[in-house]
């Protein structure tokens, strides 16, 4: 297995066995340390792609693993924050439904030899889904949202009164993340109709 794929796969145990378990440590100082681990987890998402390109190890398997691990990380974090009462139920529901639908369409495209991003053929689809700018923006918004939620959680352990002033920022970031999730999912479904046509 390539080094890039090993980096990709290492993100899941870090998330499952370390970060999610550490959610329940009731020390706000330790929660700030764990926030740094969350940032490392997101940096690993960038680093595996960098390593794959640098070592010329870009493969369809790597692309599928990267998308699958992105989905796992984001969905587990949304559910964890919902469990802590910081995110309403409808948010992880939107992300889960979008994940299943979009990845199902991408799976159909993959059977025709098209990658998750290579399947986009419309101009707006290529921009919203496959362009480096939109992929970076979406990743940055999700990373910022999760990090700010975690920071809010850490501060709430120190002084619950501090979180009231952060509520508006959290709400804005959550809605921004959900909006980008939906906006980037629509073109995949629209362009993916070709892979389900009878022709």
Q: 31: closest CA among 196, 147, 172, 141?
A: 147
In sequence order, what are the residues at sequence separation of 6 or more whose Cβ sits closer than 8 angstroms to the Cβ of residue 104?
none
- Provide the residue-wise pLDDT of the chain in tens; the chain has 199 residues: 666 666 667 777 776 666 677 777 778 888 888 888 888 877 877 777 777 777 777 666 667 777 777 888 888 889 989 998 999 999 999 999 999 998 888 888 877 777 767 788 888 888 998 888 998 899 899 999 999 999 998 888 888 877 777 889 999 999 999 999 999 999 998 888 877 765 5
Q: Indicate the DSSP class of residue 116.
A: T
What does the alpha-carbon distance between residue 134 and residue 179 come to, in Å, rounded to a whole number?
13
Ordered domains of the chain (ranges, CATH): 3-196 (1.20.120)
- Please state the length of the chain: 199
């Amino acid at each position: 297995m390539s080094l890039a794929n090993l980096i990709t796969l290492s993100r899941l145990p870090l998330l499952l066995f370390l970060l999610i378990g550490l959610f329940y440590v009731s020390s706000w100082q330790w929660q700030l340390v764990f926030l740094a681990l969350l940032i490392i987890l997101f940096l690993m998402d960038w680093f595996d792609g960098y390593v794959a390109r640098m070592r010329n190890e870009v493969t369809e398997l790597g692309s599928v693993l990267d998308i699958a691990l992105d989905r796992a990380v984001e969905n587990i974090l949304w559910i964890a924050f919902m469990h802590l009462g910081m995110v309403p139920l409808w948010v992880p529901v939107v992300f889960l439904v979008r994940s299943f639908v979009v990845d199902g369409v991408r799976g159909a495209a993959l059977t025709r030899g098209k990658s998750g991003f290579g399947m986009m053929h419309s101009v707006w689809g290529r921009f919203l889904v496959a362009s480096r700018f939109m992929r970076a923006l979406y990743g940055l918004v999700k990373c910022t949202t999760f990090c700010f939620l975690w920071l809010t959680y850490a501060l709430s352990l120190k002084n619950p009164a501090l979180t009231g002033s952060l509520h508006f920022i959290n709400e804005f970031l959550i809605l921004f993340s959900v909006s980008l999730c939906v906006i980037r999912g629509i073109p995949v479904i629209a362009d993916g109709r070709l892979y389900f046509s009878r022709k």
